[in-house]
Amino acid sequence: MKRVTGIGGVFFKTKDPQKTRDWYQKHLGLETDAYGTSFEWRQAEDANKKGFTAWSPFQENTDYFGKSEQEYMVNYRVENLEFLVDELRKEGVEIVDEIQSFEYGKFVHIKDVEGKRVELWEPVDEEYDKILEVRTK
């Protein structure tokens, strides 16, 4: 079983998320909304299936990344999150919270060897595609 299948998103802290989104939209052409943007791509194993990678600036005082000094958090796409969490527990990896399920996938946070929070995401890309359509209208 694969563990990580790709990057699901890059999240980082900024003093002014809206100003940051606007700058990236103006100068680098990112189509941003209130959350950031999503990059659509095709999956290597099946080019008919879409995949998404999120890019999102967060308020600098967010606690979503765990420790206040953590400036960024990477979201990794995974397969079979429940199985992976069980394996990680057996390997002594700290699981920060319980798995949460949404229409666009399942999420859990773990800590790496340096105590940085990492987000694991088992995506439902078809649902995520529908959510993006709604958000951009």
Q: How many domains does the chain have?
A: 1
CATH number of 34's domain: 3.10.180.10
100-116 average pLDDT score: 95
- Smallest Cα–Cα separation from 56: which of 11, 117, 119? 11
Question: In Å, what is the CA distance from 65 to each residue of 11, 12, 90, 128?
Answer: 9, 9, 24, 22
Residues above pLDDT 70, as percent of the chain? 92
Segment 12-53, tens digit of pLDDT: 999 999 999 999 999 999 999 999 999 999 988 888 888 899
31 is in which domain, residue-wise? Answer: 4-135
